[in-house]
Structure 1
Amino acid sequence: MPRPLWRRLFGRRTRLSYAAGAITLICCLTLTTITLWMLRQNRDLYLAQIHTSVANLTQALASHAEDTLKQTDIVLVSVIARLDTPDPALSLPLLLARQAVELNQLAELLVLDAQGMEVASANLPNLRESYADRDYFQYHRQHADLGPHIGRAVRSRRNGEWVIPVSRRYNLPDGRFAGVVVAAIREQCFQDFYEGFDIQRHGVLAMNMLEGSLLARRPFDDRDIGRSLFSTPVFQRVLDGEKRGQLVLHSTLDGRERFYGFQKVDNYPLVAIAALDTEEALSGWHHQAAVSLGLTALGMLLFVAMGAYLTRNIFIRLQAEHHLRIVTADLEHLNHALEDQALHDGLTGIANRRHFDQALQQEFARAQREGTPLSLLMLDVDNFKSFNDNYGHLAGDHCLRRIAQVLQSFERRPGDLAARYGGEEFTVLLPNTPGEGALDLAETIRQAVQDLGIPHQASAYRVVTLSGGVSAGVPTPTDSPQDWINKADNALYRAKASGRNEIAASECLALN
């Protein structure tokens, strides 16, 4: 009974084997600990970079929103100043049009009266529509505050695009409500700005109102605009008084885990949100961890292998004579097995290409020295690819083995050699054999293969057949073994071209 692997590696259980095992274990544990510590340090660095990136993103979003709203509010203030002190030389529609042209972000610039009717617009024609149902109009009518008001995103009544209304109330000289000036910022203005950031596939950039209503988001989805995120942990922390912060959570919109950062916009009731997908953000660290753990495992295997090798060598020295006899016997057996494998085809059991090349060189040199004829058959199974396609590779292997058995049965002299040349191609080497005898043998082999009756529906003969080419003659000093192969190969191609299941002689042999 063979000894267990542990006993074969370490021999008898001695103090030396235990000491080697303990040292190997300590080395492996030390290497693992160092690797895990380094991975933890690298992960902390990745997380710090992610937090910095998220903070920078939220800062950029908040600054952009503040600048956009400030520019828009300046326009509102200038329009209200014009309403308070009319200028006969400049009509109100013309003033609105000029202001709108200066800010490409504006989709609309309107002046509404106390009933919500459109009085003037930067866009022509003046639709004279009522905006009394809009939230921002109702807010200004109910509140005396003259400061800017940011409303929820709505669809423009002119072209249907999403816009974010920014409005101010204006009064009559006696302080009564006179109407509203409203500027509609294109939601696309925020989308265009957000597209300039690399947030990978599942990152998110968003702008929300302080009460949670979504104004803009990348990636954009119509269904998300206006949705309230007030109940999310981000807005709970904003309500707790935090101006900016970061956290990790699953999105209520798509369920993915992300690193979130938020920041309140200065002077306006808005919250900028930036989020990087956890899996994407840590993908670099995951790759680094996989490589590091793989190298660690390799290092541990090397430690184990080195320990086993050193310990085993010590025991081999102690039992040198006994092991030497065993190793010698094993090596002799292995050499015989390898020599046999090196010269025979693993599938068919007959000689392989290497064996054939060696035999051809030897027999060719002998034929040149002695002036004796040498014949070579090149044989190829017809339509074998179709056979494999129709019957499968197992059937193809079985077919090749049966054909090899036929060829082997014609090795009737010590020098005759049947070999598998490659794939479905075989060769037969016939020393001291003239061309006529080689042609007769080739025809006999062809008929014997056909008589096997192996079914082959794709063949014109309905059974497996083969074609062959024959080269023969007495080699001259200028000839080479490759010449014999090329002549037989060319003859084989002619046999294939003439319809298959035929034997063709090389041109020189055919002329003779």
Structure 2
Amino acid sequence: MSFLDSPVPSALRRLSLETLTMALLSLVFVSLVGFDFWQSWHARNVQLHQSESTTLNLTRALAQHAEDSFEEVDVALMSLQHLLEQGNELDLKPEALHGLLQKYARSLEQVEGLFVFDEQGNWKATSLQDTPWKGQNSDRGYFRFHNRNTTEDPFISRAIHSRSTGNWIIPVSRRITDSQGQFAGVVLATVKMDYFLNFYRHIELGPSGAIVLAMPDGTILSRRPFKDEYLVGKHLAQSYVITTALAQAPSGIVTIKAVIDGVERLYGYQRIDKYPLLVMVAISKKELLSDWTGDTQRSAFIVASIIIVMSLFGLVLMRQIGHANTVKAELLEAHRALEQQALSDGLTGLANRRYFDTALQQELKRAERSGQPLSLIMLDIDFFKGYNDRYGHPAGDYCLKQVAQALKRSLPRSGDLAARYGGEEMAVILPASDRQGAWVVAKRIQDQIRNLRLEHHSSPFGMVTVSGGIHTYLPGEDGVLTTQALIEQADRALYEAKHNGRNRIVAREDSGHT
């Protein structure tokens, strides 16, 4: 009897095979759990990063709206201030002054009323047709400020209840000076708080989201959601944004607990240089990650189910070693299916973000080896949120599919890669393509999407359009570039295209090397 035919070695061989099977199953379990954990954590970071970018962009847009709104009011006040300081006939004819104030007030949607007070705080004129209050306003903070200060700048006061209408208003005022340089009164505009609240009401931030218009010292001027107690006795002076963040940068994003209600939120903030104003946009971190939490729980359930099923298969494998090849084939097939799902976007059919990141890194290394340029185009569907709000999410999904198909038809070479970067944002990698070639491709994409003639009445263009940003990496000239830096440069070009009116392509000229 040979050694291989002896019973003991045979038993050892069976034990070794069972041990190998258990080791293999354990490795699969650990890998599956590890991959699911990594994927979930990566998705969380991506969600937070995209939310930070979106929140900061929204904050800047709202800050611009606030600045424009107060600037319109200030221009009217300067004009009235100039007329009154000239001492012309308007100062002597209340009817004419009343008519002029009404004319100005009608042109300013955000203004509830315009007023002129003399040096004693007495009413001289108002744009309002009829008001119950005709007394003195010398006790108001804006009147006392101008009486004591000779500044030529406008003064924005804390929000107050109007004595004329009883509504919440934000006073904006200017000092009137006589020919001898003495205090001669105040010209006042009362900005309707409802003007900002109505504007903010259409912005979707979730149940715990908030938008705050305040002064840099933390005095709240307006807040959505709005309650009287937010403006009476509430102050943001102890907020991290006021105490620390503003001192570091006039604009940014932080995650903190709110002073008012203690909810942890992602805060985008933007200080307005022209006026003493601060805009903050806050989104609840818990609500922000609610979709990710649900996806993670579902993914964990699926992984746990797979592990249970595979454990049962393992028991069968240990009893029926002869079926190992069949089980292996099934596992390989399942792995290929999961791999295919992991590389493509289920809605658009484009490459997904994970595949895009891998491909971009490979193409960047290839460009550095070959010395050929590498171009990246970042695309964003214009006013897509308005499209979803107007036509519904099913129509939004259809729009994304059509845009994705048009994008794929526009790519001239098999080596070019189109990917869904996130939401309505898409990306195109163009190996061995210089800036001029990338520009031609981007314009072709833009034309293809316009030719879809997808109706979009929430867009000023009347149809679905895209904005694009291009950045081209030139090895040797731009130094060594990272994928993140390349994406950021293209994103900056995209932001410039959107900032300049959308429905356009911008190719950045600076290198942006790291």
Aligned to 2:188: 182
Tell me which amino acid in the other structure corresponds to 1:307. G
Tell me which amino acid in the other structure corresponds to 1:259. L
Tell me which amino acid in the other structure corresponds to 1:308. L
Aligned to 1:50: 51
Aligned to 2:164: 158
- Deviation of 1:194 after TM superposition, in Å, equals 0.1
- Deviation of 1:39 after TM superposition, in Å, equals 1.1
Choose from 217, 234, 237 the match for 2:244.
Answer: 237
Matches within 5 A, 1:369-388: none
CA distance in structure 2 between the aligned counterparts of 1:79 and 1:39, rounded to whole angstroms: 60
Tell me which amino acid in the other structure corresponds to 1:251. A
Q: State whether residues 238 and 259 of structure 2, in contact with CA within 8 Å, keep that contact through their aligned partners in structure 1.
A: no
Aligned to 1:344: none
Matches within 5 A, 1:59-458: 59-88=60-89, 91-125=96-130, 127-226=133-232, 227-314=234-321
CA distance in structure 2 between the aligned counterparts of 1:296 and 1:82, rounded to whole angstroms: 75
Aligned-residue Cα RMSD (Å) equals 2.3
- Deviation of 1:313 after TM superposition, in Å, equals 1.7
- Deviation of 1:220 after TM superposition, in Å, equals 0.8
Q: State whether residues 117 and 187 of structure 2, in contact with CA within 8 Å, keep that contact through their aligned partners in structure 1.
A: yes
Tell me which amino acid in the other structure corresponds to 2:192. R
Q: State whether residues 207 and 215 of structure 1, in contact with CA within 8 Å, keep that contact through their aligned partners in structure 2.
A: yes
- Deviation of 1:92 after TM superposition, in Å, equals 1.4
- Deviation of 1:168 after TM superposition, in Å, equals 0.6
Q: State whether residues 119 and 128 of structure 1, in contact with CA within 8 Å, keep that contact through their aligned partners in structure 2.
A: no
- Deviation of 1:314 after TM superposition, in Å, equals 3.9
**Superimposed CA distance per residue, residues 340-374 of structure 1 (whole angstroms, 9 cap, x where no aligned partner):** xxxxxxxxxxxxxxxxxxxxxxxxxxxxxxxxxxx
CA distance in structure 2 between the aligned counterparts of 1:122 and 1:241, rounded to whole angstroms: 43
Q: TM-score, normalised on structure 2?
A: 0.57
Q: TM-score, normalised on structure 1?
A: 0.57
Q: How many residue pairs get matched?
A: 308
**Superimposed CA distance per residue, residues 275-306 of structure 1 (whole angstroms, 9 cap, x where no aligned partner):** 11112111111121112212211222232222
CA distance in structure 1 between the aligned counterparts of 2:57 and 2:290, rounded to whole angstroms: 20
- Deviation of 1:216 after TM superposition, in Å, equals 0.7
CA distance in structure 2 between the aligned counterparts of 1:73 and 1:179, rounded to whole angstroms: 17
CA distance in structure 2 between the aligned counterparts of 1:154 and 1:85, rounded to whole angstroms: 31
CA distance in structure 2 between the aligned counterparts of 1:32 and 1:194, rounded to whole angstroms: 43
CA distance in structure 2 between the aligned counterparts of 1:166 and 1:185, rounded to whole angstroms: 7
CA distance in structure 2 between the aligned counterparts of 1:194 and 1:223, rounded to whole angstroms: 19
**Alpha-carbon distance change, 13 to 254 in structure 1, aligned in 2, over 3 angstroms:** farther
Q: State whether residues 208 and 214 of structure 1, in contact with CA within 8 Å, keep that contact through their aligned partners in structure 2.
A: yes
CA distance in structure 2 between the aligned counterparts of 1:281 and 1:15, rounded to whole angstroms: 50
CA distance in structure 2 between the aligned counterparts of 1:239 and 1:135, rounded to whole angstroms: 26
* 3-state DSSP of counterpart to 2:282: strand
Q: State whether residues 107 and 184 of structure 1, in contact with CA within 8 Å, keep that contact through their aligned partners in structure 2.
A: yes
Tell me which amino acid in the other structure corresponds to 1:108. G
* 3-state DSSP of counterpart to 1:191: helix
- Deviation of 1:36 after TM superposition, in Å, equals 1.1
**Superimposed CA distance per residue, residues 441-491 of structure 1 (whole angstroms, 9 cap, x where no aligned partner):** xxxxxxxxxxxxxxxxxxxxxxxxxxxxxxxxxxxxxxxxxxxxxxxxxxx
* 3-state DSSP of counterpart to 2:310: helix
Tell me the percent identity: 32
* 3-state DSSP of counterpart to 1:47: helix
* 3-state DSSP of counterpart to 1:223: helix
CA distance in structure 1 between the aligned counterparts of 2:269 and 2:246, rounded to whole angstroms: 12
**Superimposed CA distance per residue, residues 188-244 of structure 1 (whole angstroms, 9 cap, x where no aligned partner):** 000011012111111101101111111111111111014210111010135514201
* 3-state DSSP of counterpart to 2:89: coil
**Superimposed CA distance per residue, residues 71-109 of structure 1 (whole angstroms, 9 cap, x where no aligned partner):** 000110111111123443772111111111111211121
**Superimposed CA distance per residue, residues 375-398 of structure 1 (whole angstroms, 9 cap, x where no aligned partner):** xxxxxxxxxxxxxxxxxxxxxxxx
Aligned to 1:434: none
CA distance in structure 1 between the aligned counterparts of 2:108 and 2:31, rounded to whole angstroms: 64
- Deviation of 1:315 after TM superposition, in Å, equals 9.9
Aligned to 2:403: none
CA distance in structure 1 between the aligned counterparts of 2:183 and 2:322, rounded to whole angstroms: 104
- Deviation of 1:274 after TM superposition, in Å, equals 0.4
* 3-state DSSP of counterpart to 1:50: helix
Tell me which amino acid in the other structure corresponds to 1:99. Y
Q: Runs of 5+ in structure 2 lacking a partner?
A: 1-12, 325-514
Tell me which amino acid in the other structure corresponds to 1:164. I
Tell me which amino acid in the other structure corresponds to 2:25. T
Tell me which amino acid in the other structure corresponds to 1:215. L
Q: State whether residues 146 and 170 of structure 1, in contact with CA within 8 Å, keep that contact through their aligned partners in structure 2.
A: no
CA distance in structure 1 between the aligned counterparts of 2:71 and 2:79, rounded to whole angstroms: 12
Report which of the two structures shows the higher radius of gyration computed on alpha carbons. Answer: 1
Aligned to 1:507: none
Tell me which amino acid in the other structure corresponds to 2:290. S
CA distance in structure 1 between the aligned counterparts of 2:300 and 2:14, rounded to whole angstroms: 32
Aligned to 1:486: none
CA distance in structure 2 between the aligned counterparts of 1:57 and 1:242, rounded to whole angstroms: 17
**Alpha-carbon distance change, 47 to 308 in structure 1, aligned in 2, over 3 angstroms:** same
Runs of 4+ in structure 1 displaced over 6 angstroms? none
